[in-house]
């Protein structure tokens, strides 16, 4: 699921974090959303309307009465247009107005008039955030169905404030909340989805390790897509630089053994396994307790075969639907079909990292979906978020059916 051509209204209220709305608008546009911005008068003291108009590629609404002679309902247009209204930043003042149904400017009127999901992103001084009256507003707004992206611990506006809870949430967290508000559904409600992601690291000595180029982006995309469909998601991931996903149980590991242990502990009651991690095939036979010195022109490292996670998780009595990933650079289809059979998979997702648009670390992928029943579908290049949706579209019906374990030949 993507935000392509989804209509997102961004309301900016008057706090020092208003400048961060620019980053949010840019990220929404990068994700294909259509964006319109409205601002309170005090917000214009922190960031210029021209900046947000340029980034959103739409004029910025500020006055209830602008163009009133041309269109008397201008103050309602935004409320009717949007698929979600995001208030970023949300000051204590706009939270109070919304809780109490006040509508004395463009943004507060839009909040009262819209029937679209509302996402508040509070940001304020930590003492203000902690006030019982503010927390009461937050509680009531949540009870009424609004989504709130709680502020984070960090440095506040001035050195005198120091650190505290009140800092605007990172853009990644806000984007997750917007996607949940706009795209979320209950297709996988009640299902437990187990996802692996990223590389593993196998230590040679205290400072060196064997690994691969995987970043974990595909696995994280799968975890987010499953979460958006209402599943309970556990993500077991190797070292990565990706923001955690709100509402996903994330277990961080490094080695093959650690990943296997974590997956084993979660597998028995899982409904769907998405094994997207790029797990090491070999690991050092011995780990040096001290840093290996450069004592000669060559160094021989003895390796042993790593545990095979999919094989270790195989259970003929298990009902878990299993999806594996096959990275192949030659004889791709044939090799992937062998993996499908040997690992007892319901589907294998094949890709070749040598293809342009399918390399490690990229935001796109080119995959072929090979099903147990024999169907083969090659998808065009698309974002990893779109690939994740295609995989779930294909495999989800098996979660509600008695899937045969007979491999097609």
pLDDT by residue for the chain (409 residues), tens digit each? 789 999 999 999 999 999 999 999 999 999 999 999 999 999 999 999 999 999 999 999 998 876 555 565 777 899 999 999 999 999 999 999 999 999 999 999 999 999 999 999 999 999 999 999 999 999 999 999 999 999 999 888 776 666 788 999 999 999 999 999 999 999 999 999 999 999 999 999 999 999 999 999 999 999 999 999 999 999 999 999 998 999 999 999 999 999 999 999 999 999 999 999 999 999 999 999 999 888 777 888 899 999 999 999 987 667 899 999 999 999 999 999 999 999 999 999 999 999 999 988 999 999 999 999 999 999 999 999 999 999 999 999 999 875 444 433 3
Domain boundary among 183, 214, 247: 183
Q: Give, for 176, the enclosing helix (H) or strand (E).
A: helix 171-183
Angle formed at CA 390 by CA 387 and CA 394, multiple of 5 degrees: 145
pTM across the whole model: 0.88
Q: Where are the alpha helices (DSSP H) in 256-331?
A: 256-267, 309-313
Residues 114 and 196 in one domain: no
> Residues 93, 212, 249, 352: which is the catalytic one?
212
Q: Rounded to whole angstroms, how far apart are CA atoms 367 and 349?
A: 6
Residues 251 and 128 in one domain: no
Domain boundary among 138, 161, 183: 183
CB of 36 closer than 8 Å to CB of 58: yes
Asked whether residue 406 is domain-assigned, the answer is: no
Asked whether residue 296 is domain-assigned, the answer is: no
Residues 19 and 61 in one domain: yes
| DSSP secondary structure letter of residue 150 | -
Q: Rounded to whole angstroms, how far apart are CA atoms 249 and 235?
A: 6
Q: Rounded to whole angstroms, how far apart are CA atoms 20 and 65?
A: 27
351 belongs to the catalytic site: no
Residues 248 and 360 in one domain: yes
Residue 91 belongs to domain with CATH number = 3.40.50.1950
Q: Give, for 88, the enclosing helix (H) or strand (E).
A: strand 84-90
Domain boundary among 139, 159, 183: 183
Asked whether residue 407 is domain-assigned, the answer is: no
Domain assignment of residue 158, given as a range = 7-183
Q: Structural domain tally of the chain?
A: 2
| Distance from the first to the final alpha carbon of the chain | 33
């Amino acid at each position: 699921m993507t935000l392509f051509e989804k209509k997102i209204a961004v309301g900016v209220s008057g706090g020092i974090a208003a400048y961060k709305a620019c980053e949010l608008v840019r990220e929404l546009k990068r994700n294909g959303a259509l964006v319109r911005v409205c601002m309170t008068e005090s917000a214009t003291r922190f960031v210029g309307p021209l900046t947000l108009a340029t980034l959103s590629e739409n004029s910025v609404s500020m006055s209830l009465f602008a163009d009133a002679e041309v269109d008397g309902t201008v103050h309602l247009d935004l409320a009717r247009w949007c698929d979600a209204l995001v208030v970023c930043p949300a000051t204590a003042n706009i939270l109070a107005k919304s809780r109490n149904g006040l509508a004395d400017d463009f943004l507060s009127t839009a909040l009262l008039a819209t029937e679209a999901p509302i996402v508040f992103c509070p940001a304020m001084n930590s003492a203000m955030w902690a006030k019982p009256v503010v927390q009461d507003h937050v509680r009531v707004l949540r009870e009424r169905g609004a989504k709130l992206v709680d502020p984070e611990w960090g440095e506040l506006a001035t050195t005198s404030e120091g650190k505290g809870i009140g800092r605007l949430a990172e853009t990644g967290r806000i984007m997750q909340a917007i996607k949940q508000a706009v795209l979320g559904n209950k297709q996988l409600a009640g299902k437990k989805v187990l996802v692996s992601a990223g590389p593993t690291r196998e230590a040679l000595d205290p400072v060196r390790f064997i690994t691969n180029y995987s970043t974990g982006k595909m696995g994280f995309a799968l975890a987010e897509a499953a979460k958006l469909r209402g599943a309970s998601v556990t993500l077991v991931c190797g070292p990565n630089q990706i923001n955690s996903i709100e509402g996903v149980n994330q277990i961080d590991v490094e080695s093959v053994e650690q990943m296997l242990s974590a997956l084993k502990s979660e597998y028995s009651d899982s409904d769907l396994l998405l094994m997207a991690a790029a797990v090491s095939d070999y690991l050092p036979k011995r780990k040096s307790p001290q840093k290996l010195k450069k004592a000669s022109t060559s160094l021989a490292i003895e390796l042993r075969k790593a545990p095979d996670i999919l094989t270790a998780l195989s259970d003929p009595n298990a009902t878990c639907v299993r999806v594996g990933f096959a990275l192949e650079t030659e004889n791709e289809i044939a090799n992937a079909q062998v993996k499908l059979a040997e690992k007892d998979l319901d589907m294998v997702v094949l890709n070749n990292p040598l293809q342009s648009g399918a390399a490690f670390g990229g935001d796109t992928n080119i995959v072929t979906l090979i099903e147990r029943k024999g169907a083969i579908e090659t998808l065009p290049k698309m974002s990893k978020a779109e690939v994740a949706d295609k995989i779930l579209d294909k495999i989800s019906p098996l979660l509600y059916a008695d899937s045969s374990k007979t491999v097609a030949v």
